[in-house]
A and B are shown apart, each in its own frame.
Chain A
Amino acid sequence: MKLWAIMRRDLLKLMRNPLTLLSTILMPIVYLVIIGNSFQGTLKNLPLAVVAEDRGIYAIRMMEKLQALQAGPKTIRLTYLEDPGEAMRGVRDGVYKAALVIPPDFSKNVAQGRLAELGLFTDNVDQISTDAIEGVLQGAAATLRMKFVTAREPKLKQIVLRPSDLFTTVDYDRSLIPGVIVMSLFMGSLMSGVFNWVMDRFMGVTEGYLVTPLSRWEIACGILASGVTITSVAAILVLFSGLLITRSTIQGGLPALAMLVAIIVMGATGILAMTFALLGRASHPRLVGTFAGFLNVILFFPSGAIYPVESFPPWLRSFSRFNPETHAVSALKSILFKGADFAAVRNDLEFLAVFTALMLMLASISFKRTL
């Protein structure tokens, strides 16, 4: 009952401040749409699996082109595989952004001037990377044809690069949804959690609560429960507004939705606990504001929400491996666009679970029932 009393207070306060909730929902969306549309730099090191089933001359030329791209502009990073099935699984699990399959009759078709096809299997969850890979491969194929054209002009039709989507197409706006959700998780848990706590203490309001028999655990769990509730509701609203705006649906129906909610709740808990562990003892709300802005930037941008993690320089890449938002984004992306495939998100979920447990522990150590 006492726990509920604390939640009741927080929820009532939130209801009287709809602007706070609205801004935790609207701001991430606006933010991401603007950033998403203004970031157009070149991508690097996009992992591409290559399966050459043809050892003919044109296949070799194609491979040389790819190697040149890897050595020169470094747009792609090649992995050579024998088994197309393995390559496709790699794409599904997010190991490769795409898999290029050079079919057995490729050289023969080119030589005979028939329609020569290359198979490109892409991870359409990450549209920016896929676009970039398609772009450089088109270029490579085109130069191949150019050379060819000079040799045997009339008969060549073209080397067609036929992108074959492993999953339904995800356009750019839609691929931003996980990032928007994660940002709202951050904003929401900050606004409903540590900011209120530090503000209340600063204004002396906490004093009125610390003289009651409420225990340290009741206070902590009450704040956690209301913060996670508010944040999760905000994030779920963001999810549905995102789907509505991009006119898309969740792949995998209800089980997928349940998993999304689970990830959202876990992410909210982890981030809320993290902000308490870091800022719970702050003496001034201004400190919370400053650090939170900073934290938002260093967690959000390396999370792969906008830009593929693979394109980061190594130091940033290793940082983002330990960034909870990276795993939240990655898990949400997989579920949202590939369906409720537990195996695909298992690693991310494991990380989030460990992270959340660790942060809860740290927060409970740093949380004091004092003025």
Chain B
Amino acid sequence: MQPDSAAIRTQDLVKRFGNFTAVDGVNLEVRRGELFGLLGPNGAGKTTLVRMLTTLLPPTSGSALVAGHDVARHPKRVRRVIGVIPQAMTSDLDLTGWENVDIYGQFYGVARRERRERALRLLKMVGLSERGKDLVASYSGGMRRRLEIARGLIHAPEVLFLDEPTIGLDPQSRRAVWDLLEQLRRESDITISLTTHYMDEAETLCDRIAIVDRGRIIALGTPSELKSGVKGSDRIELEVKGDVERIIATLRAAPGVHDVKREGLNGRLMLRADDGAHLIPRLIGDVEAIAGHVTSINLQRVSLEDVFIAFTGRSLRDEPARKVSLLVGAGMPQQR
């Protein structure tokens, strides 16, 4: 439909708050139908990035196209084709689940009959058919989140933005949200942008992930690409028989192996290596070539968490101090 084949495309996107740069020159291309993850520590600028893409904040410089429309020049066109589930819970507690969805549909100008049909289907999809007539105030956090996902889909958007949809949910509710997103992907060609700082979530769901830190994208790729990009963080545990000292020397010399340690006096060795799965057959060959023998082998692949730490470092993020009003104080913490 649009000349632009990408669902989201940004160019040198920048957002400054005063002299603090929250998003610092982001170039991004999300393909249609993709489930794209934005991963990053607190204050990395994920929400700010999503807010620019969803027309809530004007970019300081650079440009962004969502479904082919420029967010700064044609915000209304963008709004019509995106669904947004913001980080804060935004459903109305005083309305029923069904009313929330239905009124939201009215905001998009969805016709009455269409609204009824879709609301019914969506509430069923998120498992709230039975509770649709209850006030949202009586929902649990997980139910409320699922309702908001249903609400965000009432106008059949092309691109769905979810900003930390599982934050504060219990493991069951998180799984329910995951299942929902997976079902969405299977059954439609919707593009999904998912913000999270849970590694397992990104790993399970996302086709590609961008790791964001200090307003920049510092790594981008499929989960396995990202992992193989981290040097020497696969761990291989070997038990060998034979001339252990000699085996160690041989292994140390093998390409791709970064470190070999002997654990205890038996033949238990710990290796740090790149791309362990491909390395193992060769290592076994090397050991056998010098008349050694491998009795047990155990590979621990690098987790995305390791990748995350490897890219973003261990230090806590020092965010700029938020301005607090001298007259009214901070009040409640803002959901940003």
**CB within 8 Å of B: which residues of A?**
1-2, 4-6, 8-9, 12-13, 16-17, 202-205, 207-215, 283-284, 286-287, 370-371
Contacts and interface: CB of A to CB of B under 8 A. Distances in A.
- Which of A8, A12, A211 has the most chain B CB within a 10 Å cutoff? A211
26 contacts: A1-B106, A1-B109, A2-B107, A5-B107, A6-B107, A9-B92, A9-B103, A12-B94, A12-B99, A13-B92, A13-B95, A16-B95, A202-B332, A204-B87, A204-B90, A204-B334, A207-B56, A208-B91, A208-B148, A210-B55, A211-B54, A211-B82, A213-B76, A215-B76, A371-B51, A371-B56
Interface string B37-79: 0000000000000010011110000000000000000001001
A209 B100 CA distance: 11
B114 to A, nearest CB: 13
Interface in B92-125: 92, 94-95, 99, 103-104, 106-109
Q: At the interface, is chain A mostly helix, strand, loop or mixed?
A: helix
Contacts, number: 88
Interface string B118-158: 00000000000000000100000000000010010000000
Contacts of B320: none
A211 B92 contact: no
Contact of A16 (B94, B106, B331): B94
Interface residues of B, number: 35
Contacts of B92: 9, 13, 205
Closest A-B pairs by Cβ, 10 of them: A208-B90, A204-B88, A5-B106, A211-B84, A212-B107, A16-B94, A13-B94, A213-B79, A204-B335, A284-B331
B86 interface: yes
Nearest to B57: A371
Contacts of A1: 106, 109
A207 B325 contact: no
Nearest to A208: B90
Nearest to B85: A208
- Taking each of A6, A207, A283, A371, which has the highest tally of chain B beta carbons within 10 Å of its own beta carbon? A207
Nearest to A370: B56
B59 to A, nearest CB: 14
Contacts of A2: 106-107, 109
Given A1-B106, A8-B103, A371-B56, 5 more contacts: A202-B334, A205-B92, A208-B84, A211-B56, A284-B325
A287 to B, nearest CB: 6
B85 to A, nearest CB: 8
A207 B88 contact: yes
Most-contacted residue by chain A among B54, B95, B106 (CB, 10 A): B106
Given A205-B92, A283-B328, A211 B79 contact: yes
B241 interface: no
B107 A213 contact: yes
B107 A214 contact: yes
Identify which of A2, A17, A203 gathers the most chain B CB atoms within 10 Å of its CB.
Answer: A203
Contacts of B104: 208, 212
B83 to A, nearest CB: 8
B80 interface: yes
A212 B335 CA distance: 19
A4 B112 CA distance: 13
Given A213-B80, A213-B108, A286-B331, A9 B95 contact: yes
Contacts of B79: 211-213
B86 A211 contact: yes
A353 B106 CA distance: 33
A258 B106 CA distance: 33
A173 B89 CA distance: 48
A51 B65 CA distance: 81
Contacts of A5: 103, 106-107
Nearest to A1: B106
Contacts of A204: 86-90, 334-335
B108 A207 contact: no
Which of A6, A213, A214 has the largest number of chain B CB atoms within 10 A?
Answer: A213
Contacts of A284: 325, 328, 331
A16 B95 CA distance: 8
B90 to A, nearest CB: 3
B211 to A, nearest CB: 25
A262 B188 CA distance: 53
A72 to B, nearest CB: 48
A356 B22 CA distance: 42
Contacts of A202: 331-332, 334
A9 B104 CA distance: 9
Given A208-B86, A371-B56, A283 B106 contact: no
Contacts of A12: 94-95, 99
Contacts of B328: 283-284, 286-287
A368 B56 CA distance: 12
Contacts of B95: 9, 12-13, 16
Contacts of B106: 1-2, 4-5, 8
A283 B57 contact: no
A13 B109 CA distance: 21
A203 B94 contact: no
Contacts of B332: 202
A212 B108 contact: yes
